[in-house]
Every structure is written in structure tokens, then in C-alpha cells.
Chain A
Amino acid sequence: MTYIAKPKLHHRDIPTNALGFTHRDYEGRISTLCAGCGHDSISAALIQACFELSIEPHRVAKLSGIGCSSKTPDYFLGQSHGFNSVHGRMPSVLTGANLANRDLIYLGVSGDGDSASIGIGQFAHAMRRGVNMVYVCENNGVYGLTKGQFSATADKGSKSKTAVNHDAPIDLVSMALVLGASFVARSFSGDKKQLVPLLKAALSHRGVAVLDVISPCVQFNNNPQSTKSYDFVRAHNEAVNRIDVIESKAEITVDYAPGEVVTVHQHDGSLLKLSKLQADYDPRDRAKAMAYLQEHHARGEVVTGLLFLDPEAEDLHAALGTTKLPLNQLGERELCPGSKALAAVNDSYR
């Protein structure tokens, strides 16, 4: 229950990060989701990613829409401000928040109903604008809170206890690629080893970083006929790469054999080391990434990993030329032109 606080006590020897925080400092309230829900694994991965990156929890703003996934920001980073907004509209609220203060880290959490149905318009335009954010879509193919209706990401022919889905699925990853997202990844809530580094890479990316995380719904969509079940995704997971995020401060000591590894520098100085699991996959080529996804989707495979990255991407603030000082810190002195300027304005209307 959300109103029961977790005990603050923890073992005195648990690891601390560069800020002296333990992973417990990145936790939130106790989840109210179903036991075994994929979303809780994603929350845990977010906690680990932020802990490992030594992010100050209060410098993160968590925003979400409505749905099971959108409830989760209450369950991690309890020292961060959170905003559970309206259904499908997280991207616009986050855009405004980001415009007001460019210095915080913006984490948008959404689901497949929230992003692919009611909010597909806002999803699309957030990709186009390149708002500096991490956009996590916790994708389970169903509406959990209203008890198991199919969502727009459910594959055609998927079966629930009572119905068969006849509609073609929307692939958010393909859409993100088409719409200009500069960081596109897919992962699986059941594969923390892949998910945590991807989240870390996304958090250190400038521009919009979208992660489609398949996150089985144990209650309504974990049946044998589902393509969003634990078993199905484990059996069909086709990872294109493994990623290591090396922070700017860390010394790079390991040499990698050429051809097997792609290294990419991000704006914040961090280095992404991508071990190729598929020899022909280059995540810096948008067009090829799209073709690869289509081909493998047709074979029934779920392609995961860092699918596309433009490390040179700019964000919305760069496009708008806004001040380095966050807009919410400007006062009369910076904003009000004063009466003398107004006299000149008046003159121009005579």
C-alpha cells in the first residue's frame, strides 16, 4: 500500500556511489502493482541506473500520464518531484517543465495505452521536437487498470481470455525512428543486464531518448498466445548489441578488438561501448535500423538493444536559443523591459 513507508533502515555495508548515496536513497514508496509485474522490474532498473550514475535524486523530475505504468514514478526516486498528469499527455507537460528549467533531468514514464493510443500524437511530436528527456514506454500490450483490454501495441492475432486482437500493432520504436528521435532502444523488463546500461546511456543522452521496454502484464497478458509474455519475449529476443556506459570520469583501460565493438562519445563526455551481437548492425544508421527492424519483426523476432543513436543531436533548447540560465530563475530585472522601453512602444502605435 502506498501510504506505508518503507523502513529507512538498511545494512551498514551496502555499497554507496560517488555522492555517498546507497541504492535505498533512490527508492520510492512501495509499489501497488501486481506481484511479478514487469513494471516493477523497470522501476528497479531505473533505481540502479540512477544510483550507478550518481545522479542527485532531487535533480530528476519524473512525469507520467495515466495507467499502471504511469503510477510507477511514485515507486522510485522518492526525493524527486513527480507529476502524474493526464492520459496520454505526459510529453506536453514534460516539454513545458523542460522549457522552464533546462538544468534538471527529465524522466517521462508512459505505457502502451498512454503512448500508442490516446497519446500517440503527443508521442510523435515529442520525438520531432527533440525535448531533452528519457521517454520510457512500459509496453505490455494491454490496459491493466481497466482489466485487460488490448492496447494498440498488441500484435494482430494476440489472444486474451475473452478476445482476439484483430488490429495491426503500432511499433513505437519504428515510429520513433521515422519521427527523428536521436536515441532509440528496445529492451525487456526481464533482462536487467541489458536494461540498466540502456537506461544509463539514455540518461546521459542529450535530446529525446526513447526506450520501448516490453513489460509483461502477469494478470492479463502473460498467457501462451501473447507476444508480450515473459516466455515469448525470452524465446524471441534478438539483441543486436550489448552496451557498457563508461562515465566521463572513468579511466578507459580495456582495449577492444576492432570490428566487434562500436564506441560512441555522448555530449556529456560519457562513452558508450557497444559490443556487437549482430555483425551487420550499426546503430548509427537510421535507415538501416528501420529496415533491420522490419525484416526481423516479419520473422517474429523481438529486436532489442540500442537500435539508433545520434550522438551529435541537439535538443529543443538549442533550437529555441534559450538562455543557459533556466527560464524559471529569471525575474523582473531580466524579463521586464521597463517603462522607458514602453514609451517607445507606445510611440510606434501613434
Chain B
Amino acid sequence: MTPMAAVNDFVVKFANVNGSGSASANELFARCILRMGVPVASRNIFPSNIQGLPTWYEVRVSGEGWLGRRGGVDLMIALNPQTWDSDVAEIEPGGYLLYDSTKPMPASKFRDDIVVLGVPLTALSNSLEGTIPRERQLLRNVIYLGALSALLGFEPEVVENLIGKQFKGKDKLIALNMKSIALGHDYAAEQLAGACALKVMRSDKVGERIFIGGNDAAALGAVYGGATVCAWYPITPSTSLAEAFMRHCKLLRVDKETGENKFAIVQAEDEIAAIGTVIGAGWNGARSFTATSGPGISLMQEFFGLAYFAEIPAVVFDIQRGGPSTGMPTRTQQSDIMLAAYASHGDTKHVLLFPEDPRESFEFASIAFDLAERLQTPVFVMMDLDIGMNDWLCQPLSWDDSRRYDRGKIMTADELEAGRDFGRYLDVDGDGIPYRTLPGTHPTRGAYFTRGTSRDRYARYSEEGAVYVDNMQRLLRKFDTAATLVPAPLRRNASETARFGAIYYGSTAPAMDEALARLEAQGLHLDTLRVRAFPFSDAVTDFIHDHEQVFVIEQNRDSQLLKMIVNECAIDPARLIAVLHYDGTPITARFIVNSVAERMTLLGRKEAAE
């Protein structure tokens, strides 16, 4: 057996027990590598549980900067007896296993084609004087971090700085944690010297980039985008978005002089009340949003129809998880696309945005509030668990201070006073977007009755067919306007003329980047189009017409975006090939390359034969 050797290019996986406090040590591990200038991609793999069940944390170290999930494990830190067998089995041949060697394990529990690194974590933690058992359990995590820092060659000052930052102001904790680091480090340095040929070497590939989760970034986008009302109901994987909004608001949105809050956050009794509150606030001129996941979107359907038809701004963050029903609540998917696009009964269509990472989640969150008010309609920011709940390495968040919020068409008291004609559903500008007034604007002009029932251009109740059709046609014109306002798709052409194209969106982006490089290396040329919003622009149709065949890569079973493209852009389905990954894990470059390369070669061969 040849032990695996690699510098800045390997996958580490931590197998822990839920509730053992491993998360912060694991995150520290990832940050140490980042501080050494080496990109990492980290992912939490966790069950729907608080304590006792298995949980994993996967860190892909990639000097080349590939941030998608790679697949496979090179170094396993196996700390969960429950999953020991499958964890050990998952290690690539020649890979490494680090385990707690306090108690002896039978030889049958190991493999002979991997390197076993025993560190007596429990025994070492018991040597920490003046600690209670719960502390020792937590410090055991810090001890393995110390051991890994020796095995992988972390710079000691990097570890020390991060510990100091994490426990800033708590000197006792800093000392205790550093002591634990030293315990692990010294043991590994003495007993396991030269045993591990996976190394982290200082590099300069991280640059200015930040390490942030999508929910956190989207919440910041809501703060910067001027959201003042948030109503939400706890549901994985969206909960941390609302909680992050609360945290950021407390830092950034409290009036320094008066101590008053420039925000209102309500934890509603259910998702229906959450969206009702958002719509009420939107009707009354505040920027408002909710964060939820698939089951919440299902519950909110009736209200989406109301907001569409009564034309009320609302922003909805859908952090998608595995469906249907409760499905896989802690796994990722892109399977609410159609549900959101056509939410509610009757003929409806909604604006969707597909951010590719936390940075774009920030950007699209802030844009969503402009779009919702400009278009007077719900706007869905379609994230997923992979983006939302994992820290991603991405470009710093940026804000242009000259940017002004687009509050849309609101008729003011002065305009009403000047005698301007107000028809709530009157298309004055030909873009399908009418003017609205806010309650309380003018004593005698501009009041109207908002309802989900059919009405004429002046908001007067009417069930006349022609009046109804007139309104529904205007809503379609408004949707055409939406297509010109949403973020355009991004096209990337291969180095040579390509017969094949690929369409993808959202969290598939990092895996796609890597897959493209690998395909190019194999001489397979693929143009790509990253769709960033619905309604689709003409660029989507053009892209498909520019290629003989187009792969549509999605993380759902039913090729939801593909079907929407076929229907909305009137595309012959035979031109499109679905590439679908939906087992709940994030899509990988390996999967894309395997799926795409095989079919590209096959189609090429078939043609040659003909």
C-alpha cells in the first residue's frame, strides 16, 4: 500500500456525534487552512436531530480553488462509533484514518489499505486539570484540531490567532484551548511524525475572499436592501436566515441616539401568518420578507395568488431542501422551482432569482426588494441548503453607496392633489405596471379597495369577462417587463466552437466550473449559460438555438427548469438533455463530467456511424 501524498488538494471528513460541540472546532480547522491562503469548500452533513445522531463535516482543500463537492474522502476523522464501519469504508485507498485510540480497537475494525493514525483523544482530554466532563468533551475536539495541525503542517501562529479571535476577551478560555491544541499537536508531532503525507502549504489563492454562509449573506442583503419587516416561521434550512437578519439588525439598524429599532421581526404562528404579515406590510409600503423552505411555500400558496392578483410587493427566500413532504429536511435540492414559479391556483407566474453562492445571495436579496416594489409582485430568491447553511469561500460583499432604492410607482399626495388620474390597475406607461397609493396618503383622493376578486382598472369590483381578461392580459405584459429587469443569464463560450451547450443555475455553479475545466482538458468543448432568473430572457432561447444539443443540469428529479424552458420559450424538448442529481448531496464535478462526457461522446459516435 502506498500512502496517498498530496499538497493542498485533498478531502477531509469529520464524523461526529450531533451535539458533541464539534462544529466550532471543525470550522476552525477550515479557517486555519484559509488563513494559510489555501481555498477550502466546507459542507455540513447533518440529520434532522439535535443530539445523538451522526453528523459529518466535509472540507475539500483545493489549491486550485475548486469549491464544489469533490466526492470521496482522503482523511477521515472517525469519532462516531455508530457510523464507524461506513466511515472507514468511505476512505479512498491509500488514505488516512484518524481515531481516538484511548481504548483498543480490534484489528478487524480497520482496513489494510489505509494509514491509521491513532490519537488518544479522551485520555489526553482527561489530563486537562480543573475541567469538568462536558468541557473535556468539547476540548477533545480542540485536541484533534491540534493533532491535525501537526499532521498537515499548519503554521502555529495561524491556529493561535484564530483561537484568540474566537475567544476574544476570554483569556482563560484562550489558555485552555491553546493548551488543548498543544496536547494534540505534541502527541502527533512525537508519535506520528512523518505518518501523514497530506500537507497544507502556504499559498496566495484566497486573497480578499470571505468565508460566509448564504443565509447569513442573504440576511445582510435584506439589511442593505432596506427590508424593515420580517415575518417568519422556523423551518430548516431557512431558520438561520431570519436569525441572522435579527443579529445583523441589532448591530446595524438600531438608532444610535434613541435606541429605537429600525426593523420589526415577528416569529409567526405558521408560514401562512408569516406571508400574510409580509403582504400586509408590503401593501402598506414597507419592504418586507419571509424566509422558508418547500413545506412553507406549499402552505403560502393562497397568499401568493392574492399578492400576484392584488399586486403587492413581497420577498420570499426559499431555502430549498429535499422534498416532497418532509422529504429530506437536512439535505439539499433544487426541487421547488416549478412550485414557486407557478404558485397558487388560477393563472399565476412569479419572478424567481437563482443566486449561485452567498455573495450573489447578498446581491439578489437586495435586488429582490427593488424588483418586488417596481413590479408590485412577490419575488422569490431560490437558494438551497447547500448555499444557505454552508460557509462558502466567495468574493467580498460589496455595496455602491450611490445606489438608491427603487420604490416603484407610488402616487404621492402632491400628485393626487394636483389632480393626476389614479386608477389602481390602470396601465399608464404601457409596461403593465400600474400606480399604487399607500394608505393614509390623501384625505379625499387615491383610496381604493384591495381585493383578490376581479375588478376594473379603477379597482371597482367586476366579474365582467372583458374586464377580467383586460386585467389578466396586463399582468402578462407586466411579466414581460419583469424579463427585462431581472438579472440576465451569463454565457460562457468554450475555447473552441461547441456543438453542445449546458444550462445550469444556483448552487450547481462551483461544480460546473470544475467540470468545464476537466471537460476542456479531455478535449470536450461545452458552452454554458447560467440562468439567474425567471422570467427567462431571449438569451436563453438564443443559447439553445446556437447549439445542437443542450444539457440542462439540475438538482431535482423531474427536470423542472428544463420543462419551464420548453414551455415558456417554446423549445423542442428533443434539443434538451436532462442531467439530474437529486440524492440530497450537493452535485459534484465528477457527476457532471461523467454524465456529460459520456453522452457527448456517444452522440458524436452515433453521428459518425450515420
Contacts and interface: CB of A to CB of B under 8 A. Distances in A.
Interface in B246-303: 248, 252-253, 255, 258-266, 268-270, 272-286, 288, 302-303
B286 A328 contact: yes
Interface in A52-110: 56-59, 61, 63, 73-74, 78-86, 89, 91-101, 103-104
A82 B226 contact: no
A301 B401 CA distance: 66
B440 A63 contact: no
Given A99-B266, A99-B286, A335-B228, A84 B277 contact: no
Given A79-B444, A321-B261, A323-B262, A121 B273 contact: yes
Given A99-B277, A100-B280, A330-B228, A61 B440 contact: yes
A121 B270 contact: yes
Contacts of A84: 449-453
Q: Which of A59, A94, A97 has the most CB of B within 10 A?
A: A97
Interface stretch (A140-148, A217-225, A280-288, A342-350): A342-350
B415 to A, nearest CB: 15
A7 interface: no
A91 B398 CA distance: 38
Interface in B448-473: 448-453, 460-462
Give the residue among B210, B259, B269, B460 with the most A Cβ atoms within 10 A.
B269
Contact of B444 (A58, A91, A122, A323): A58
Contact of B264 (A85, A99, A104, A336): A99
B228 to A, nearest CB: 4
A335 B224 CA distance: 7
A9 interface: no
Contacts of B272: 89, 92, 122
A73 B452 contact: no
A324 interface: yes
Q: How many B residues are at the interface, by size bracket?
A: 35 or more
Given A93-B279, A101-B285, A346-B397, A125 B268 contact: yes
A331 B405 contact: yes
A100 B273 contact: no
Interface in B389-420: 396-401, 403-405
A328 B288 CA distance: 10
B276 A96 contact: yes
Contacts of B255: 323
Most buried by A among B211, B282, B283, B452: B283
Contact of B447 (A81, A94, A104, A349): A81
A96 B231 contact: yes
B224 A92 contact: no
Contacts of A343: 396
Nearest to A2: B461
A304 to B, nearest CB: 29
A343 B224 CA distance: 13
A84 B462 CA distance: 15
Max chain A C-beta neighbours (<10 A), residue from B281, B288, B303 = B281
A335 B269 contact: no
A349 B220 CA distance: 12
B38 to A, nearest CB: 14
A320 B265 contact: yes
B440 A101 contact: yes
Nearest to B281: A96
B226 A100 contact: no
Residue of A92, A97, A121, A125 with highest tally of chain B CB at under 10 A: A92
Contacts of A56: 443
B440 A104 contact: yes
A85 B285 contact: no
B482 interface: no
Nearest to A70: B451
A97 B283 contact: yes
Interface in A123-160: 124-125, 129
B231 A349 contact: no
B261 A322 contact: yes
Contacts of A63: 280
B283 A83 contact: yes
Contacts of B286: 96, 99-101, 327-328
Contacts of A14: none
A258 interface: no
A143 to B, nearest CB: 18
A259 interface: no
Contact of B276 (A80, A93, A129, A324): A93
Contacts of B399: 336, 338-339, 342
Given A63-B280, A81-B450, A345-B397, A86 B266 contact: no
Given A100-B284, A327-B286, A122 B441 contact: no
Contacts of A334: 262
Contacts of B229: 96, 99-100, 327
B491 interface: no
A58 B448 CA distance: 11
A83 B452 CA distance: 9
B82 to A, nearest CB: 33
Nearest to B413: A58
Contact of A78 (B231, B439, B447): B447
B205 interface: no
Contacts of B448: 81-82
B499 interface: no
A15 interface: no
B269 A121 contact: yes
A328 B461 contact: no
A81 B439 contact: yes
The winner among A82, A99, A104, A343 for most chain B CB atoms within 10 A is A99
Contacts of A78: 447
A17 to B, nearest CB: 14
Nearest to B270: A121
B437 interface: yes
B438 interface: yes
Contact of A58 (B34, B283, B443): B443
B416 to A, nearest CB: 11
A339 B401 contact: yes
Contact of A85 (B231, B306, B438): B306
Given A93-B279, A95-B277, A332 B404 contact: yes
A93 B450 CA distance: 12
A324 B228 contact: no
B280 A96 contact: yes
B228 A100 contact: yes
Contacts of B261: 320-323
Contacts of B67: none
A85 B276 contact: yes
B447 A341 contact: no
B343 to A, nearest CB: 14
A341 B443 contact: no
A21 B17 CA distance: 71
A350 B210 contact: yes
Contacts of A99: 228-229, 264, 266, 277, 280-281, 286, 288
A100 B281 contact: yes
Interface in B295-338: 302-303, 306
CB-CB nearest 8 A-B residue pairs: A96-B280, A92-B276, A100-B286, A81-B439, A328-B285, A96-B281, A100-B284, A96-B277
5 contacts: A129-B266, A320-B264, A327-B286, A337-B253, A345-B220
Given A81-B439, A96-B283, A331-B405, 13 more contacts: A57-B443, A84-B453, A85-B452, A99-B228, A99-B266, A101-B284, A122-B273, A321-B260, A327-B229, A336-B223, A336-B399, A343-B396, A349-B210
